[in-house]
């Protein structure tokens, strides 16, 4: 198929490459001209603007928007939507908030433009491994772009089938690594929860390794200390233990390079989905202590001290004349 790809960063560039490897034609655009040139060298058709891309695509056209959530995505979709070509399919492959998808899809559908949201997981590994995709939109639009999704997905590969999975009941695409999750917004909603879970998983490993490392601490009685090899522990847990996972594989890679992780300061970003997941939990009245604690650990990692900490010290001073602990 022919597809336009807007946004050629880490994710967008590799998506274009993986599609070309599968024989699809890509027309690519990025505000950053060298990014376009790089893709053209790999076989893409370059575009100098969204209008230029429109002219180089079929009618109706298929557009994959792979930009930061918020203004960049919003404005790009508004421009493409403004082309108002009946039957166009606009795909938001980024990390938009699912309520924005619902809103956009409503407006675009009224004018006959299709809107599809694709939550895309795979990171820098996706070019080789393929991308896991959660897709929202109308059946018609999702079916139309199926060849694109199939090319991006990892396929069944070497990952074993789930015992007990009954083919006739389930969506066969799931085993290929993509699903049609529901109407517009459903794709990003599922991806959002995915990222919320990711934060929780990551924090569980983080706390566990913190406890392993702390076991050498001189706060402990001498005969209760262990000086553990974290690199070997991460490695052994990859092999037959119940906590083996891709995140553990990444942990093992990081620790193999440097068991003390000295290149990192420990100031950890969060990208929006974690927060939206907690919003969703609260709207549904679902308790989500683990996912929230994981998110808050990231906030906490980015400040030296909270004002709240100081208030604790002020209360302790007021009550007991306590002075602060030297750090």
User: Would you count residue 115 as binding a second copy (CB under 8 A)?
Assistant: no
- Residue 310 catalytic? no
CB of 185 to a second copy, least distance (A): 7
Among 71, 162, 168, 222, contact with a second copy (rule: CB under 8 A): 162
Contact (CB, 8 A) for 171 and 142: no
Helix (H) or strand (E) holding 5: strand 2-6
Per-residue binder mask for a second copy (CB under 8 A), 181-210, x = binder = xxx-xx--xx--xx-xxxxxxxxxxxxxxx
Rg (CA), the chain: 24
- Residue 191 catalytic? yes
In the block, residue with structure tokens 């599968």: 22
Closest CA to 114 of 154, 145, 74: 145
Dihedral in degrees, nearest 10, Cα atoms 145, 149, 150, 153: 180
User: Would you count residue 265 as binding a second copy (CB under 8 A)?
Assistant: yes
Catalytic, out of 191, 213, 235, 273: 191
Q: Which is nearer to a second copy, 69 or 204 (CB)?
A: 204
Per-residue binder mask for a second copy (CB under 8 A), 289-318, x = binder = xxxxxxxxxxxxxxxxxxxxxxxxxxxxxx
User: Would you count residue 7 as binding a second copy (CB under 8 A)?
Assistant: no
User: Would you count residue 165 as binding a second copy (CB under 8 A)?
Assistant: yes
Measure Cα distances from 135 to 192, 224, 283 in Å: 12, 51, 22
Q: How many CB atoms lie within 10 A of CB 36?
A: 20
Among 46, 122, 144, 273, contact with a second copy (rule: CB under 8 A): 122
Footprint (CB under 8 A) of a second copy, residues 31-90: none
User: Would you count residue 150 as binding a second copy (CB under 8 A)?
Assistant: no
Per-residue binder mask for a second copy (CB under 8 A), 235-254, x = binder = xxxxxxxxxxxxxxxxxxxx
Q: List 179's β-bridge partners, or say none.
A: 134
Among 129, 138, 147, 150, contact with a second copy (rule: CB under 8 A): 129
DSSP-derived secondary structure letter, 183 = S
Catalytic, out of 56, 175, 198, 273: 198
Among 20, 40, 150, 280, contact with a second copy (rule: CB under 8 A): 280
Contact (CB, 8 A) for 1 and 143: no
Number of residues that bind a second copy (CB under 8 A): 159
Residue 92 main-chain phi, psi, to 5 deg:
-100, 105
Residues with a known catalytic role: 191, 198
């Amino acid at each position: 198929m022919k597809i336009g790809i807007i946004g050629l960063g880490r994710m967008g560039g590799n998506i274009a490459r993986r599609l070309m490897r599968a024989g699809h034609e890509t027309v690519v655009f990025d505000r950053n001209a060298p990014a376009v040139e790089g893709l053209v060298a790999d076989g893409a058709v370059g575009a100098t603007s969204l209008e230029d891309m429109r002219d180089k695509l079929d009618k109706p056209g298929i557009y994959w928007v792979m930009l930061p959530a918020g203004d960049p995505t919003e404005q790009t979709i508004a421009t493409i939507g403004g082309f108002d070509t009946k039957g166009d399919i606009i795909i938001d492959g980024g990390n938009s908030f699912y309520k924005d998808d619902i809103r956009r899809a409503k407006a675009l559908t009224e004018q006959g433009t299709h809107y599809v949201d694709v939550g895309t997981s795979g990171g820098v590994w996706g070019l080789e491994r393929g991308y896991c995709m959660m897709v929202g939109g109308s059946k018609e639009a999702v079916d139309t772009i199926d060849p694109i999704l199939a090319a991006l997905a990892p396929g069944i590969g070497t990952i074993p089938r789930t015992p007990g999975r009954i083919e006739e009941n389930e969506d066969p695409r799931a085993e290929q690594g993509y699903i049609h999750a529901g109407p517009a917004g459903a794709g990003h909603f599922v991806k959002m929860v995915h990222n919320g879970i990711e934060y929780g998983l990551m924090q569980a490993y983080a706390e566990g390794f913190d406890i392993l490392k702390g076991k050498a601490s001189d706060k402990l009685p001498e005969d209760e200390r262990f000086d553990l090899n974290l690199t070997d522990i991460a490695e052994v847990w990859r092999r037959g233990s119940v906590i083996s996972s891709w995140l553990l594989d990444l942990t093992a890679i990081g620790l193999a390079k440097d068991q003390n992780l000295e290149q990192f300061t420990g100031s950890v970003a969060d990208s929006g989905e974690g927060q939206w997941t907690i919003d969703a939990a609260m709207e549904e009245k679902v308790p989500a202590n683990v996912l929230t604690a994981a998110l808050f650990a990231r906030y906490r990692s980015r400040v030296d001290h909270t004002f709240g900490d100081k208030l604790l010290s002020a209360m302790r001073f007021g009550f007991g004349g306590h002075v602060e602990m030297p750090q």
